Amino acid sequence: FTLNRLVNRPFTTPWPRLQLPEPAPQIHYNRGLVKVASQFEPMIQVLRKRVAAAEADTEVARRRYRPEISVGIEGSTYSGDGSVRQGTLLVGMKLPWF
């Protein structure tokens, strides 16, 4: 009744029976098909990126508990001829605070 009104048909006009197509044939297991599906499935790609991000977070957390050692050399010139007037050797170590 309401659908007939929406498409501007007489109220008593019956709708034809819906004819569904035949079901598709069964797809048999195929390694090539699985490979293509796993490469191009968007949800699998999203999950792979989430796994990579979680692994990166894990690596950052592991590195926080390691001491960080740094070494550097610094030179300064104060004269116009470009000779080094001061040199400094820097050694540093950051220890994680548990």
For residue 13, being part of any structural domain is answered with no
For residue 51, being part of any structural domain is answered with yes
For residue 39, being part of any structural domain is answered with yes
For residue 40, being part of any structural domain is answered with yes
For residue 43, being part of any structural domain is answered with yes
Domain that holds residue 61: 29-76+88-94
CA–CA dist 72, 23 (Å, integer): 72
For residue 19, being part of any structural domain is answered with no
The residue with tokens 């990166």 is 56
pLDDT category at 98 given cuts 50, 70, 90 is: low
The residue with tokens 């300064």 is 76
Instruction: Give me the pLDDT at residue 88, please.
Output: 87
**What are 15-72's pLDDT values in tens digits?**
888 899 999 999 888 999 888 988 889 999 999 999 999 999 999 988 888 888 999 9
For residue 82, being part of any structural domain is answered with no
Rounded alpha-carbon distances, angstroms, from residue 56 to 50, 61, 75: 10, 9, 37
Structure tokens belonging to residue 60: 């950052």
- Based on the structure, what is the number of domains in the chain? 1
Instruction: Give me the pLDDT at residue 32, please.
Output: 92
pLDDT category at 1 given cuts 50, 70, 90 is: low
For residue 10, being part of any structural domain is answered with no
